[in-house]
Structure 1
């Protein structure tokens, strides 16, 4: 049984405490199908989220099968299923692939046969067998709701919470989904709670919970609903609620609660469709870190290669950016003469020689410095493009999977590996392509290392931004600004005032990659670059250390953002 005793959930608004769930007390028997209804803003979803543990209750207690969830162990991930209103599946995947990934992330299966059995079972339960090979993007609204249910049923939860899963559906699809939920509540004594604004098909529920301004106005069998509110039709209930303040409805309900709930609790429970085995009734063990990591990586690469727009963008960046750099490479290929040791015949000839050497130094030094910074900035842009939306763009799905038992460490590791492959490919191709059509006039290995590190640093920092921001739009905008400030604040083009430079330099990865690459140049070329820049260069080791620190800080911040609660309301 699920029991709520004076459960409250409050928020602070304008310095005042506002109760969104106000002393809710209900008892829901095992194998029960309950609807939570009420006018918009009455606290239906808030109550459901409080039961799920997404909202910590401000007061009161929740009990599940005699266990006090407020003081003792919370729900095991396999005990509870939560189906949000939004879609929780990736569009490029098929129905079968989505359910398979959900199973691998939530349930420790014994072997491939056990995995296939679970997938086939939920496909059949939810009526999705015939469309198992269809991609999510082509499913109808009703089919997507069924898929959301199927992805929760893989762990055979004993408590299933559904938030507005019939919202926006046509009448036929709505009835089919409500009928499906009804049938699911008859399986293995599963308790199903469904938030809905609709008052249609109430006869399919075992009980109806009516909320008004966060308070209970009614909880009882659907056939007694109109009698209790003294109306002829259920559509008149919401207008009826508005005729009295919520306190009066709660007071009235408190007088009748025992009589109405007593009828539900003493009635015969519905017979289960199957006799559950001990293995099905116990909490299922979660899969290990490596299994979750492998599942996430496999799914991420599958999505990547099916996204034609992303493939085209990556190819365009990898091909076009190096070509842009090589357009200027010929300017860096000129020779640099040294001053002759022999004394010139006249002062005029000696000054002319000095002027010629100086011109060659300026031409080559400016070109080499500019080409290196061009590569650094383009790779910084690649890094931003790699990860700016990587977490924020799939936030609802990730938060849902985390609620279902996904380890944040496995999720972060999958992102590091996926993005790491992109970083290595992009950086290696940029360095090799530009060097082939020109040449890096110094230690090419050091140059490649710094290009890889600046790409990795920007990728890690933007991954952190993506993990910390609430929306993909916010993450993308901030990442673009970050790249935009790299060039002017690096000091490579125009030296900054010393006070400003000392404050900004530690945070500008473009400077450290540029400075490290310049330091790896040959002697004459290095002197030529130094002759045209005002900014001081850092040592090779300090550049390596700082860029590595940028990567580490970015990953630590990303880990913090990934572990934080960002469930969207």
Structure 2
């Protein structure tokens, strides 16, 4: 049984406390199907989220089978299912793949046979068996709602919460979904609560909860609602609510609820007697002191053995990573964009190769001779140094900036773009660490491919003028700047609520890399000291420039006024950028950001 006693949810508005849910008192027995209705803004979804634990109650208490959830912890992820109004599946996946991924993330199965049986059963229950191979993006609205239900039923929840799952559907699809929810409530004593704005098909519900400004105005049988509100048609209930304050409706209901609850009990008894509702057997009573220790231990362990367990970190990680690669390769637009960037960006860099190579070949030692010849030779060498320094420094910085742009494209939308799905899966038992680890593994592959290809391809046409190990050092810094910017943009993506916010902030971050690096124009000392620690492009550029041949290094120094940092300082700083980005991503994934 689910019971709410004086439950409130309060927010601050203009410095004052406002109760969005105000002293709700209801009891919902097992195997019950209840609709939560009311005009827009009356607190329907807020109440549902409070029951789910997404909104912590400000006062009162919630009880589940006699257990105080406020004091003894929330419901286990396997006990509760939440079907939001938005889609919870990825468009490139099929129905079967979506349900399989949900099962692997929420249920620890013994073997593949048990996994397949659970998936097949859920597909059959929700009527999705015939379209199991169809992609999510081509499903109708009603089919997507069925899929959302299927993905929640994989863990056999005893409490199923549905938020506006019939909104936007045609009348036929709406009735089919309501009928499906009705049937689900008749199995194994499952409680199904459905928030709906529609007043159609109310006869399929066991009870109707009418809210007005966060307060209970009515909770009783559907066929008694018109009588209570003194209306001839159900559609007149909402206008009738506006005729009195919510406080008066709540007081009236508290006075008259007795007969309506009696009618609910009679309806329930008839339903059980007729076989329309099959309830599981009541749990065995707690053993008395006379029971032996062995029997007492067995009684305690029995519920645990039947309890659905959540998969471990590694199982969730592999499921998420496999799903991410499948989505990536099925998104032709994303694959084409990655390939275009991977191929075109290095080609852009090599456009400057002829000038760079030619200018480097013009370098020579000054010859001894008369003063005029010596002066002319020094002038030629100085001019060559300027051209060589500009070309080499520009090519290195061009590589760094392009890799920073790749990094932004890699991860700016990686988490924020699927925020709603991630929050839903986290509610269902997904470990944030497994989710973040799968993102890091996926992005690490992109970083390696992009950085190594950039370095190797450019070096084929414009060999890196480094000393012993110079090219290897250059590769390391390209990897670090790509990895650092990818990690930082991933952190931004995890902290932002929307993909648009994350993308915009990441683009600004990349845009400031070149002007604030000091590689083009030296910055004022006051600005440089403040901005330099945060500019990944500077540290990758400085570290790569420091690995050049001495003659080329001197040429670069003749054209830039910015001082170069040591290789160790560049390595440590870029490593710090990676760590800071991952920490921000960890904080963002753990933080509750349910919309």
Cα deviation for residue 263 of structure 1 reads 2.8
Q: How many angstroms does 1:494 deviate by?
A: 0.2
Deviations 1:304-328 (A, max 9, x none): 0000000010000000000000000
**Runs of 5+ consecutive residues of structure 1 not aligned to the other structure:** none
Match for 1:501 among 524, 528, 531?
Answer: 528
The 5-angstrom pairing of residues 39-438 of structure 1 reads: 39-265=39-265, 267-268=268-269, 270=272, 271-272=276-277, 282-333=306-357, 334-340=360-366, 343-344=368-369, 346-438=370-462
8 A contact 2:31–2:279 mirrored in 1: no
Q: 1:444-483 residue pairs with structure 2 within 5 A?
A: 444-483=471-510
Partner of 2:297: none
* Alpha-carbon separation, structure 2, partners of 1:7 and 1:76: 20
Q: Is the 8 A contact 1:142 1:174 kept in 2?
A: yes
Q: What is the RMSD of the two structures over their aligned residues, measured on CA atoms?
A: 1.4
What displacement does 1:331 show?
1.8
Cα distance in structure 2, aligned partners of 1:129 and 1:465: 40
Partners of 1:520 and 1:227 lie apart in 2 by 86
How far apart in 2 are the matches of 1:62 and 1:273? 25
SS at 2:11's partner residue? strand
Q: TM-score, normalising length from structure 2?
A: 0.94
Per the TM alignment, residue 273 of structure 1 is displaced from its structure 2 partner at its CA by 5.6
Q: Is the 8 A contact 2:3 2:63 kept in 1?
A: yes
Task: Return the match for 1:519 from 512, 530, 546.
Answer: 546
| CA offsets 1:426-482 (integer angstroms, 9 cap, x no match) | 000000000011110111100011001000000000000000001000000000000
How big is each residue's C-alpha offset from its partner over 1:477-505, in whole Å with a ceiling of 9 and x where there is no partner? 00000000000000000000011000000
Structure 1 counterpart of 2:557: 530
Map Cα deviations across residues 325-356 of structure 1 (whole Å, 9 max, x no partner).
0000122212253433x531x21111101001
Contact 2:38 2:210 in 1 (8 A): yes
Alpha-carbon shift at residue 37 of structure 1 (Å): 0.2
Q: Is the 8 A contact 1:446 1:520 kept in 2?
A: yes
Contact 1:79 1:283 in 2 (8 A): no
SS in 2 for 1:71: helix
Contact 2:403–2:481 at 8 Å: present in 1 too?
A: yes
Q: 2:135 & 2:315 partners in 1: Cα distance?
A: 24
CA distance in 1, matches of 2:365, 2:77: 76
Give the Å deviation of 1:282: 4.2
Cα offsets for 1:380-411 (capped at 9, x unmatched): 00000000000000000000000000000000
Are the aligned partners of 2:189 and 2:279 in contact in 1 as well (CA < 8 Å)? no
- Structure 2 portions without partners, runs of 5+: 284-301
Query: Following TM superposition, by how much is the alpha carbon of 1:258 offset from its aligned partner in structure 2, in angstroms?
Result: 2.6
The match for 1:550 is 577
Equivalence for 1:28:
28
TM score, norm. by length of structure 1 = 0.98
Shift in Å, 1:279: 7.9
Structure 1 residues 79 and 198: CA distance shift in structure 2, 3 A: same
Q: Distance in 2 between matches of 1:390 and 1:30?
A: 40
CA contact (8 A) 1:380 1:458 kept: yes
Q: How many residues align?
A: 566
Residues of 2 paired with 1:205 and 1:311: CA distance?
48
By how many angstroms is 1:256 displaced? 1.4
Retained in 2: the 8 A contact 1:335–1:360? no
